[in-house]
């Protein structure tokens, strides 16, 4: 397991850089992890013997799928309301922030949700 305190410190700095509240940052990270949970069985393992992928690949897939923004906006699945449904203006602002944020900052933000070096995929 990676150093969770370091991952959390990077995530906090990323959230501050992006102008997100702790609740908003956690929602983004949770949404990224939910996306990983959904797509993990579709990923091809880079280590076929272990059936695993490197952390960096898992995070990339979770962020690149575009589903994180869809979850936050409430456009993902008919049963999935917007994460901040009670504040549609802030939801729009968060989506805009995400579109303007560099990839490294997003990786840092979701880092604590992915504390292991390898993850099971292709199950």
pTM of the model: 0.84
Q: For residue 97, what pLDDT band results from cuts at 50, 70 and 90?
A: very high
Q: For residue 43, what pLDDT band results from cuts at 50, 70 and 90?
A: confident
DSSP secondary structure of the chain: ---HHHHHHHHHHHHHHHT--HHHHHHHHHHHHHHHHHHGGGSPPSBTTTTEEEHHHHHHHHHHTSHHHHHHHT-SSTT---TTTT-HHHHHHHHHHHHHS-HHHHHHHHGGG--SSEEE---
Q: Where are the domains of the chain?
A: 4-114
Q: What is the mean pLDDT of residues 77-105?
A: 80
Q: What is the mean pLDDT of residues 77-85?
A: 59
Q: For residue 82, what pLDDT band results from cuts at 50, 70 and 90?
A: low
Confidence at residue 75, expressed as pLDDT on a 0 to 100 scale: 65
> What is the C-alpha separation between 30 and 37, in angstroms, rounded?
10
């Amino acid at each position: 397991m990676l150093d969770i305190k370091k991952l959390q410190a990077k995530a906090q700095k990323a959230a501050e850089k992006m102008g997100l509240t702790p609740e908003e940052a956690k929602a983004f990270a949770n949404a990224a992890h939910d996306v990983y949970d959904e797509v993990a069985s579709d990923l091809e393992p880079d280590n076929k013997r272990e059936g695993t992928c490197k952390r960096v690949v898992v995070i990339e897939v979770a962020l690149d799928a575009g589903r994180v923004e869809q979850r936050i906006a409430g456009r993902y699945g008919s049963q999935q309301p917007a994460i901040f449904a009670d504040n549609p203006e802030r939801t729009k602002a968060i989506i805009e922030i995400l579109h303007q944020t560099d990839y490294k900052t997003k990786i840092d933000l979701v880092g604590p949700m992915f504390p292991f070096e390898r993850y099971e995929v292709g199950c």
